[in-house]
Every structure is written in C-alpha cells, then in structure tokens.
Amino acid sequence: MAGGSINSTATVSQSGDNKNYTSALSALTTLFFMWGFITCLNDILIPHLKGMFDLNYTESMLVQFTFFGAYFIVSLPAGWLMKKIGFQKGIVVGLTVTGIGALLFYPASIVASYMFFLVSFFVLAGGITILQVAANPYVAILGSSETASGRLNMTQGFNSLGTTIAPVLGAYLILNEASNAVEKAESVQLPYLGIAITLFLIAGYFMLAKLPKIEAETYKKSAGSAWSYQHLIYGAIAIFMYVGGEVSIGSFLVNYLAEPNIGNMVETEAAKYVAIYWGGAMVGRFYGAVMLSEQKDKKKSNMYIGIIMFASFFLGWYLTNEAELGAIFLGLAVLNYFAFKLGKNKPNRTLYVLATIAASAVVITMLTTGWIAVWAVISIGLFNSIMFPTIFTLAIDGLGKHTSQGSGILCAAIVGGALVPLLQGYLADTIGIQHAFIIPVICYIYIIFYGVKGYKHNIVQE
C-alpha cells in the first residue's frame, strides 16, 4: 500500500514499548537538528566566501557542488556500512567524520585557501551523509508503519529548527565587519570549532547509549534488489529535484535579497530572511507531524495547530523586529495550513498540492519586484517543508529487506543539491539572478508528477 508507510516486518531487539521508542527518537532528533544547522550555515558562508575570494556566482556555487557531491559519492558505501556495523555504530562513525570535517575549517581559515575550504566541506558532508543513511530509515521503522511519514516529519521539524537558528547565529559570528580576507577567514574558526566539539560529545553519547536494534533479517523477502522498484527510482529523481530546488533557493537568497529591485538589503539583514525561509520549513514540518499522523483527538490536533501558528507569528516578529512582518508570515502559515487541508491527510496528495504552490511562488518572485518578490520567495520554505520526508517514505514503502539499499540510493540523489545550484549559478551569471529561478520551477513540476503518479508501486523486471 502506498501512502508513506514502510511495508516490512522489521523489528527491534528490545521488547519495544513506546517509552523505548520515545527515548530513541529523542536521541535521533539531535542528529536531525545538527545536520540541519550545519547544512544551512552554507547559505551564510557562500556570500561570505564569494566576497572573500572575489568569486562569481558559478564559482561560489562550488561550495554546494562539493558539499552535496559528497552525498553522491558516500551514500551507497554508507548503505553497505549500515549492513556491516548496524545503524547505531554507523551514527557514531557519521558523527566522528562530520566532527573531523568541522575541525578542518580551522586550518582552512589560517591558510585562507578556497580549495582547502572545499575539501573541508566535502569531509563534513561525507559524515552527514552517513548520518542521513542511518537515521532516516531508523526513524521510519521505529514505530507504526502507518505513521512513518508523520514521525519523519516531526524529526525533520527539528532539522528545520537547526536551519532556522543557523542563519541568525551564522550572521552574528561570520558576517561581521572584517576589513580584509584574513579577518574574514578567521571569523569562521569559532563557529566550526564549537560544532566539532558538540559533534564529538554527541558521538560519545551514541557510543554508550542503549538503542533498539533493527533486525535486518526479519524483513519479509522481496524479489530482486531496490533498483527493481520503479517508485523508488522515480522517488530518487524527486529527491534530486527537491534538494536541488530547495538548496538553490537558499543559496541565492542573501544575494537575491540584496538586489536593488528586490529587497535592497545588506547581508546581515538578508540573513534574517534566510532564517524565516528555513523557519517556514520548520513550521510546515510540524504541521505535517500533526496532519499526516493518525491523531484522532481533534481538540488536541487543533491545539497543536494553534501553537504552531502562534509560533510562526512570533518567529517572523522576532527575526524582523516588526510585528507587521510577523503578521505577514502568520498569514503565509495559515495559507500553508489550508494547503495541508487540501492534502486530505494523504502524503502523495499533500506533496503535489504543496509542490504546485511552491512552483507558483517561484514564478511570482520571478515576475515581480520589491516586497512581493521577497515574500514570494520566502514563502517557499513553508511549502518545501514536508517534501523530503514524504518523498522518502513514499519511495521506500514496500522495499522490505532492500530498505537500507533504497535509503542509500535516495541519499545519493541528494547530489541534486550539488548540480542544480551550479546550473542556476551559471544562469545567474548569464541571464541574471532573478530569471535563473526558472530552475527550481522545473524541479517542482517533476515533484508534482511524483505526487500524482510516480509514487505508485510498479516492480520493474530485471
């Protein structure tokens, strides 16, 4: 059955009461927060490095090319690693590698070499890739298969909390008034040293923690390999398009909002709106956690929705220091809520409804100027929200014993975050930054297809 569940009989080695699952999910949530925080710092570092090394748009997008290129290279070996050492040890390895990557930013800042920075990004992303391959299927399997999409949306909500905090903190620590390239490079040292220490501490916890163990051999037998499942292959393309579109938009936001005919903002002010963009993804994912779950208590659900709406107003107000702008963001969050209602609690339907609105918002920002263009592009974060976890759970639905392999394939497709921004960077250099947003429009059109038809199961004969 399609619809975001994982049709397998995977079990855990413990008796698996809800308390055990809650503890495990709480621990896993810290991973989602950390890799969201680290990934979104790229959006601050890109304009910072662009100015430091006098790069054009295409050259500056090599950051995302290197970072997300690591997903393509590391994902499939990471899937093999999970089978050999298990999810918990895989998480420890992933945290350690990510921590080493963060440490490399210190010597990169001393040498002040763009190539050294790119190497640091690659190692950092390699560790995050291992974490993704381990944590996403782990969260999906720990609990009822029918609520896998809602559960993954909840953990992805904390991923978005990290992406919301990162631009604000990153702007404060990194986008300072440095007068030369050396000082700009040095501003990177403190944030990434702090990240490295935090990652090593979390790795120590996971090394000692007693988490439920997934018994891979208890999966139902299924034919062929993960490559035999057409909905997985289409899902991998959808992940490619989604990550590519989302990362492209986030990567260009600071420079886009600085355009005189768009926002005419300085970098530190634009960074606040980057935080709102990613904060929208957080709001939408918390909506998804409620509205794509099997919550039967309407009063409780309405209370959760009310809290999320209040939080969206506070978030917009806090980040912009203007209640009026907080109210605008609340209005967009209300629109996002009704988009979820149109989804009728069906993951695939919700996916194509939100993708349609996201595509429309990109077109609006391409055709307008000023505050309309600003809020159109910022609103896309709200509608991006549930796309990754929903595509992921639809794509691995029914893979059985091939779930680990399928997870590796999907994480490899995150390479879209490497290639799509590079293509948009080339277009920005040739036809202008505003018209270059045609690339995310194409990405969302494919996601609409996946939500309408591509998610349906069809085993391809090998």
Q: What are the distances in angstroms from CA 31 to CA 16, 24, 26, 77, 396?
A: 21, 11, 10, 20, 21
CA distance 39 to 47: 15
Cβ atoms 121, 173 nearer than 8 A: no
Residue 424 confidence (pLDDT): 94
CA distance 362 to 370: 14
CA distance 170 to 400: 41
pTM: 0.77
Mean pLDDT by 10 residues, the chain (462 residues): 35 44 76 87 85 87 89 83 83 94 92 91 92 76 63 73 82 68 75 92 87 54 72 94 93 91 88 86 82 68 85 86 89 92 89 96 96 95 89 86 78 87 93 95 97 83 47
CA distance 318 to 347: 32
CA distance 317 to 324: 7
DSSP label at residue 12: B
Please give the structure tokens belonging to residue 180: 């030369």
Residue 104 confidence (pLDDT): 94
Residue 18 confidence (pLDDT): 44
Residue 357 confidence (pLDDT): 97
Taken in order of first residue, the domains within the chain and their CATH numbers are: 18-454 (1.20.1250.20)
DSSP label at residue 53: T
Residue 261 confidence (pLDDT): 94
Residue 297 confidence (pLDDT): 62
CA distance 395 to 91: 22
End-to-end CA distance of the chain: 22
